[in-house]
Structure 1
């Protein structure tokens, strides 16, 4: 058991899980090894809390904290909560300005917000398997009724290039945002991202900045990768990541289907 643990924060989709929701055996083995050695292995994801905790269970890990909603919600282990975790730090913002700006240039877009209760409220039909099963459909005007941790915008009829151009045209400001692989936009409170949430977690654990390992493949991982690299830790971009994500880290591994995460984790001594 190590006396000098690493803080190991992992993105989920495209890093731990493939598009079919499968976890490679090699990833399981490395995570089991690191947990047994006393390292703090946790999740840092854009998913909601309710979509994050089942992945934690599948991995068999019990970290003190879990970062969800791109850093806007950090959960803490809590035996009194039915899920085993309760909200510890929650960041919210008023989505009305972003909704107004984006609806003006993305006329066929679908919008959804995630409240501090972890429930999605959405307007318009989303791609299958996203929010309908766990959310509530509401009129567009109701999306801005209360502060939210996250605003999601999807424009399935646009190319990623058209989508990016329209976001630029909207003049979106006073929020943090990242664009996904498709025409999918995640908006968080200004200055909030996975990196800011993980710095809180690191301070709480008292782990040195150079004992931090993060891994991710999406644009919402950029700040997390930069944060780890800037502190002398390991900011590992997956080989399947866009170039701007690769540039944000200080280490590149192979892609998901060539056991990229497991190979990077294997370099951490047990």
Structure 2
């Protein structure tokens, strides 16, 4: 642990990436020029907190190989990284400090959910992120947050695999229509979150960023009162609720109303230094 804080002052600082650490709403996701997408003061604050000995944990819906380049750009070496909305938890390899191993991987058979969704959303695009790290899809899904190892397959090949995540995108539906359709599906034995666009992320039952963070918190021995979490998406709601029960939870200013409602407080939008302000308010002695 870095010098500067006592063990009983360490915090677990859980940070979403897109829209929280990364201002990619204004800079785009193409080109992987992450330095341009990380607001300078937020990046400096994250590095200062990490160097002081706090447990900084990236918690994102991104795949592993879309997450680690951002961690590298932050110029920190966190012990723990959570990807795929909690389905994959990485632990830094002590023998290779820049490498991470899959410490916990949650997997499920997505067949029942896929068949049910396809019957309701017949024009949707489907994809499965495999527990082993690969990615199968029926039609291209334009995003920089998914694995680079991808293969297009017929819908039937998505059935019966071991998946860490299912992605459903329905560009033919407005978000309101998409939300209504998802609510009527009666999905069971899975956890799911709908994005700001017509995008559905499905994980194994009970698996969220919050469930993965609680495992990490227990492993590192940090009290529940010393957790901080910041996010902006519906897939962050469980994380914000988890942190807010005993610690500090912050929604970014551009988050939709139902996300803001679940946070203990709301900061400025990502493009107005919202993350830096939230961290400074929580850690004024270090960042003030």
Shorter-normalised TM range: over 0.9
RMSD: 1.6
Which ranges of structure 2 fall in alignment gaps of 5 or more residues? 30-36
Where 1:191 maps in the other structure, the secondary structure is coil
Q: How far apart in 2 are the matches of 1:130 and 1:239?
A: 22
Residue 169 of structure 1 deviates from its aligned partner by 2.4
Residue 129 of structure 1 deviates from its aligned partner by 4.6
Residue 190 of structure 1 deviates from its aligned partner by 0.6
User: What is aligned with 1:248?
Assistant: 262
Selected match of 1:70 from 49, 69, 85: 85
**1:157-203 CA-partner distances (Å, limit 9, x unpaired):** 11001111111222222210000010000000111100010000000
Selected match of 1:17 from 1, 18, 22: 22
**CA 1:264–1:130 in 2, change beyond 3 Å: closer, same or farther?**
closer
Whether the aligned pair in 2 keeps the contact of 1:175 and 1:189 (CA below 8 Å) is yes
Structure (1 or 2) with the greater helix fraction: 2
Where 1:97 maps in the other structure, the secondary structure is helix
Which ranges of structure 1 fall in alignment gaps of 5 or more residues? none
Selected match of 1:211 from 226, 250, 260: 226
TM-score for both structures, normalised by structure 2: 0.90
Where 1:257 maps in the other structure, the secondary structure is helix
User: What is aligned with 1:116?
Assistant: 131
Selected match of 1:150 from 139, 142, 165: 165
**CA 1:194–1:133 in 2, change beyond 3 Å: closer, same or farther?**
closer
Residue 125 of structure 1 deviates from its aligned partner by 2.8
Q: How far apart in 2 are the matches of 1:38 and 1:82?
A: 16
User: What is aligned with 2:10?
Assistant: 5
Q: Answer yes or no: is 1:260 the counterpart of 2:263.
A: no
TM-score for both structures, normalised by structure 1: 0.95
User: What is aligned with 1:43?
Assistant: 58
Q: How far apart in 2 are the matches of 1:32 and 1:81?
A: 20
Q: How far apart in 1 are the matches of 2:87 and 2:259?
A: 20
Q: How far apart in 1 are the matches of 2:143 and 2:240?
A: 30
Farther-moved stretch of structure 1 (89-98 vs 164-173): 164-173
Residue 82 of structure 1 deviates from its aligned partner by 9.3
Residue 83 of structure 1 deviates from its aligned partner by 5.8
Residue 132 of structure 1 deviates from its aligned partner by 8.4
Whether the aligned pair in 1 keeps the contact of 2:190 and 2:202 (CA below 8 Å) is yes
